Amino acid sequence: MTQTNTHLSHLKTKYGGKIIEAEIQGQNRIKIRVNADDLVEIMEYIANELKFPSLEAVSGVDWETHFEVVYHIDRWDGDPTIIQVQVKLENRDNPEVPSVTSIWASADWHEREVFDLYGIRITNHPNLKRLLLPEEWDEYEHKHISELYPMRRDYKLPEKPFSFKPHPK
């Protein structure tokens, strides 16, 4: 049994009922899908019990009908396994997923980027504010949510271009 199979077996044994989908993709990649409510518990297990110390990326995906947040986790000890965790978010008007910054500090900016560009609220994030867009972005006279988050598929450029306001000194 490969290390990848062993890791997946441990995940299924511990969280079988909470893992919606699980499969080995390629030689060293595990993909699992979980609900947002179970995310932190499963991520703590992956980090602490399976010994995956590195959260490499957190990405948002807009599938038009729903959003997804995708996490890539790996190890540095020669075990080539990468675990991809996916969370499907059905509520397009108020998508949210809990923060994993308490597990991996590296999640901080990744989660802020997902919030900033997709509008996916990251609950319990210690500093959830815009990262790439100007802080005044929300104050601009937008007409619809589709003008607030530029990575959404329905994003439309505002009729009136955004102009930066100088910060008071």
Domain at 3-134, CATH from 3.30.300.90, 3.30.460.80, 3.30.479.30, 3.40.50.1010: 3.30.460.80
Q: Which residues of 106-128 are buried (b: 16+ CB within 10 A; e: fewer)?
A: bbbebbbbbbbbbbbbbeebeeb
The pLDDT value recorded for residue 32 is 98
pTM over 0.85: yes
The pLDDT value recorded for residue 60 is 97
- Per domain, the residue ranges of the chain are 3-134
Q: What is the mean pLDDT of residues 65-71?
A: 97
pLDDT in tens, 98-149: 999 999 999 999 999 999 999 999 999 999 988 888 777 766 666 566 677 7
